[in-house]
C-alpha cells in the first residue's frame, strides 16, 4: 500500500465512525458513483458517503483534508463533461439525503433548498402557490449540481441561467468552514460576489449544500409552437431577428433535420424531417398574442412554414418531453452507442455562420451528430454517436469537436455554454481565457491549497 493509499484508508475508517452505514465501500455503490452521463471513462471512488446535513459534510471534508483524500460532491450524476467522475479516487459525497425544500417565500419570490432537491421536485412543491423555477437543463438535475455547473437550458433566453437565479449559497470550504455567500436581498454591493464565484466552480472550490433561488409567478398565459423551415439558415435567422427585436420569448430551440428524424422515431411523432424551431411564449394573454404574431411574421420572412400550436398543457408537455429526450432519441439511432455531447455558445450575430460551417463539417464525416440548441442564447450542441472503445471514432469525434470549438472561439464565443469544463474541455480553457486562467488557478490554490476538492477538474493537474 502506498502512503497515499494508507491515508485514504485512514480517512475511510474515520468516516465510518462518523457515518456508520452511511459510508459505503461496496463495489455496487462505488460503481454507481464512478460515472456520469458523459462519454468519459468511469473511475471508481474509494468510498461513498451519504451525509444528512451541512455540518456532516463539513466534518467529512475536515477528515478528508487531514488525510489529503479527494472529495467529490455528487447530485444526480447527470454531468455531460465528466464533472463528477472521481478520477483521483477518494470519497464521493452523495447528497441524496439532503433533499428537503427548507423554505419558500412566495411574497419574495424565493426559496431555499438543500442541494439534492431536483428542479422538478421544487417545481412540484411550489406549483400550488402559483410559482415556478424556470431553469431547465433537460435532465432532472439537483439544484446544487445545477449551481455548481452554472446550468441553463431551454428557458435561459428569457429567465437567465443559474448565474442570474441563485441568490445565495451555503458552501463547505476545503478546510471544513461553512459559509453563507449572501443574504436574501435581491441585490447587494457588500463585498466580493462569492455566490457567482461558486456558481460554475464545478465542486473545485467548495461543496454547495444549500441553494437560495429566485422564483417566478406562473405566467398568466403560455403558448408553444413548432415551425419547420426550408433551410437551417432560415431557422437561425428567425431566431436572430427575434432576439435583436427584444421579443421576450421564453424558449426558442433549434433541432436540425437529423435531430428531428431521431425525435420522430423515438417519440413516435410525425414532424417534417426539416430544420425546426420549438418556441414557447410566456406573458399576459395579450402579450403572448403580440409576441406570437411578431415571431410568426419573422418566420414567414425566413422560409418558415405554419406554426403548429400546442395550446393544452398535455400537448406542451409532449412537445418539451420530445425535446428533452433527444439524448435517448440519439442513443436509439445506434443501439449501444455512447453520446459525446458537446456545446458551444457564440454571439448571436455569428450563430448562422457557426452552425452552417459546423453542418458542412459534419456532412463530410462518417460520424452522425444531431444538432440541437438553445439558439436564443447563441448556444448549440452536437451529440456524436460513438463507440468509445473504437479509436477511429474517438479520434474523429475529437477532431470535429476541436474544429467546432476553435470555430466558436474565433467568433468570440465560448468552448462551453452550459456543460462546463469538467474533463472534456480542459485543453480549450487557456485558448479561451489566456492569462485569466492563471488567476483562476490562484483562486483555486488559495481556497483549496491541498487540491482535495474534485481534483483534476477544470484544470488538468
CB of 197 to a copy of itself, least distance (A): 6
Q: What cell numbers appear for 134 in the block?
A: 424556470
Q: Does 103 bind a copy of itself (CB under 8 A)?
A: no
| Chain residues 369-388 in contact with a copy of itself, contact rule CB under 8 A | 377-379
| Chain residues 8-67 in contact with a copy of itself, contact rule CB under 8 A | none
From 1, 28, 107, 363, residue interacting with a copy of itself (rule: CB under 8 A): 107
Kindly state the DSSP code that residue 83 receives in the 8-state scheme: T
| Chain residues 123-162 in contact with a copy of itself, contact rule CB under 8 A | 149-152, 156, 160-161
d(CA 80, CA 420): 8
d(CA 459, CA 423): 8
Q: Nearer Cβ to a copy of itself, position 228 or 454?
A: 454
Q: Nearer Cβ to a copy of itself, position 74 or 428?
A: 428
**Cβ-based neighbours of 233, under 8 Å, separated by 6 or more:** 302, 352, 356
| Chain residues 389-408 in contact with a copy of itself, contact rule CB under 8 A | 408
Q: Nearer Cβ to a copy of itself, position 322 or 344?
A: 344
- Taking CB under 8 A as the binding criterion, the range among 41-49, 362-370, 382-390, 416-424 that sits at the site for a copy of itself is 416-424
DSSP 195-225: HHHHTT-TTSS-EEEEEEEE-EEPPSEEEEE
| Chain residues 246-275 in contact with a copy of itself, contact rule CB under 8 A | 246
d(CA 67, CA 395): 38
Q: Nearer Cβ to a copy of itself, position 280 or 418?
A: 418
From 62, 68, 163, 316, residue interacting with a copy of itself (rule: CB under 8 A): 163
CB of 99 to a copy of itself, least distance (A): 24
3 state SS of 1:
coil
d(CA 339, CA 281): 31
From 22, 32, 308, 433, residue interacting with a copy of itself (rule: CB under 8 A): 433
**Cβ-based neighbours of 418, under 8 Å, separated by 6 or more:** 137, 149, 150, 151, 152, 153, 156, 161, 343, 345, 374, 379
d(CA 59, CA 288): 51
CB of 49 to a copy of itself, least distance (A): 23
Contact 263, 322 (CB under 8 A): yes
| Chain residues 166-225 in contact with a copy of itself, contact rule CB under 8 A | 173, 177-194, 196-197, 199-201, 205, 216-217
In the shown chain, the binding pattern of residues 330 to 349 toward a copy of itself, with x for contact by CB under 8 A and - for none, equals: ---------------xxxxx
From 429, 452, 455, 456, residue interacting with a copy of itself (rule: CB under 8 A): 429
Q: Nearer Cβ to a copy of itself, position 284 or 387?
A: 284
From 42, 409, 450, 451, residue interacting with a copy of itself (rule: CB under 8 A): 409
- Taking CB under 8 A as the binding criterion, the range among 16-24, 236-244, 306-314, 381-389 that sits at the site for a copy of itself is 236-244
From 7, 140, 261, 290, residue interacting with a copy of itself (rule: CB under 8 A): 290
Dihedral over Cα of 278, 280, 286, 290: its sign:
negative
d(CA 282, CA 328): 28
Residues 351-390, buried b or exposed e (16+ Cβ, 10 A)? bbebbeebbebbeeeebbbbbbbbbbbbbbbbbbbbebee
Q: How far apart are the first and last CA of the chain?
A: 23
Q: Nearer Cβ to a copy of itself, position 48 or 60?
A: 60
d(CA 93, CA 315): 39
Kindly state the DSSP code that residue 47 receives in the 8-state scheme: E
Q: What cell numbers appear for 140 in the block?
A: 432532472
CB of 333 to a copy of itself, least distance (A): 26
CB of 241 to a copy of itself, least distance (A): 10
Q: Does 410 bind a copy of itself (CB under 8 A)?
A: no
Q: Does 443 bind a copy of itself (CB under 8 A)?
A: yes
Q: Does 450 bind a copy of itself (CB under 8 A)?
A: no
CB of 295 to a copy of itself, least distance (A): 14
Q: Nearer Cβ to a copy of itself, position 387 or 445?
A: 445
From 26, 297, 412, 460, residue interacting with a copy of itself (rule: CB under 8 A): 412
3 state SS of 287:
helix
Amino acid at each position: 500500500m502506498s502512503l497515499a493509499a494508507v491515508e485514504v484508508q485512514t480517512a475511510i475508517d474515520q468516516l465510518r465512525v462518523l457515518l456508520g452505514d452511511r459510508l459505503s465501500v461496496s463495489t455496487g455503490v462505488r460503481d454507481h458513483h464512478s460515472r456520469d452521463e458523459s462519454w468519459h471513462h468511469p473511475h471508481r471512488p474509494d468510498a461513498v458517503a451519504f451525509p444528512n446535513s451541512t455540518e456532516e459534510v463539513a466534518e467529512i471534508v475536515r477528515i478528508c483534508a487531514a488525510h489529503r483524500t479527494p472529495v467529490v460532491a455528487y447530485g444526480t450524476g447527470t454531468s455531460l463533461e465528466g464533472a463528477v467522475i472521481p478520477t483521483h479516487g477518494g470519497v464521493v459525497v452523495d447528497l441524496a439525503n439532503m433533499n428537503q425544500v427548507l423554505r419558500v417565500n412566495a411574497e419574495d419570490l424565493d426559496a431555499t433548498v438543500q442541494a439534492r432537491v431536483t428542479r422538478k421536485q421544487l417545481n412540484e412543491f411550489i406549483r400550488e402557490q402559483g410559482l415556478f423555477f424556470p431553469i431547465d437543463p433537460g435532465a432532472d438535475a439537483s439544484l446544487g449540481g445545477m449551481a455548481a455547473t452554472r446550468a441553463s437550458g431551454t428557458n435561459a433566453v428569457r429567465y437567465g441561467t443559474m448565474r442570474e437565479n441563485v441568490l445565495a449559497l451555503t458552501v463547505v470550504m476545503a478546510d471544513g468552514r461553512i459559509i453563507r455567500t449572501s443574504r436574501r436581498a435581491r441585490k447587494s454591493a457588500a463585498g466580493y460576489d462569492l455566490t457567482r464565484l461558486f456558481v460554475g466552480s464545478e465542486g473545485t472550490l467548495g461543496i454547495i449544500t444549500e441553494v437560495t433561488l429566485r422564483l417566478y409567478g406562473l405566467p398568466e398565459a403560455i403558448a408553444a409552437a413548432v415551425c419547420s423551415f426550408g433551410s437551417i439558415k432560415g431557422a437561425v435567422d428567425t431566431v436572430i431577428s427575434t432576439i435583436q427585436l427584444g421579443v421576450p420569448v421564453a424558449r426558442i430551440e433549434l433541432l436540425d433535420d437529423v435531430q428531428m428524424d431521431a425525435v420522430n422515431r423515438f417519440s413516435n411523432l410525425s414532424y417534417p424531417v426539416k430544420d425546426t424551431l420549438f418556441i414557447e411564449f410566456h406573458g399576459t394573454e395579450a402579450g403572448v398574442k403580440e409576441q406570437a404574431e411578431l415571431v410568426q411574421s419573422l418566420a414567414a420572412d425566413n422560409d418558415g412554414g405554419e406554426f403548429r400550436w400546442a395550446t393544452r398543457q398535455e400537448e406542451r408537455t409532449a412537445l418539451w418531453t420530445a425535446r428533452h429526450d433527444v439524448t435517448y432519441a440519439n442513443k436509439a439511432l445506434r443501439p449501444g452507442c455512447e453520446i459525446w455531447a458537446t456545446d458551444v455558445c457564440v454571439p448571436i450575430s455569428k450563430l448562422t455562420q457557426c452552425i452552417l460551417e459546423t453542418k458542412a463539417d459534419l456532412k463530410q464525416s462518417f460520424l452522425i451528430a444531431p444538432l440541437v440548441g438553445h439558439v436564443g442564447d447563441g448556444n448549440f450542441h452536437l451529440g456524436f454517436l460513438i463507440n468509445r472503445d473504437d479509436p477511429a471514432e474517438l479520434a474523429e469525434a475529437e477532431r470535429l469537436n476541436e474544429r467546432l470549438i476553435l470555430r466558436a472561439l474565433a467568433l468570440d464565443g465560448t468552448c462551453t455554454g452550459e456543460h462546463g469544463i469538467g474533463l472534456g474541455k480542459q485543453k480549450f480553457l487557456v485558448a479561451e481565457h489566456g492569462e485569466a486562467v492563471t488567476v483562476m488557478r490562484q483562486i483555486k490554490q488559495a481556497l483549496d491549497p491541498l487540491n482535495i476538492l474534485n481534483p483534476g477538474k477544470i484544470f488538468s493537474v
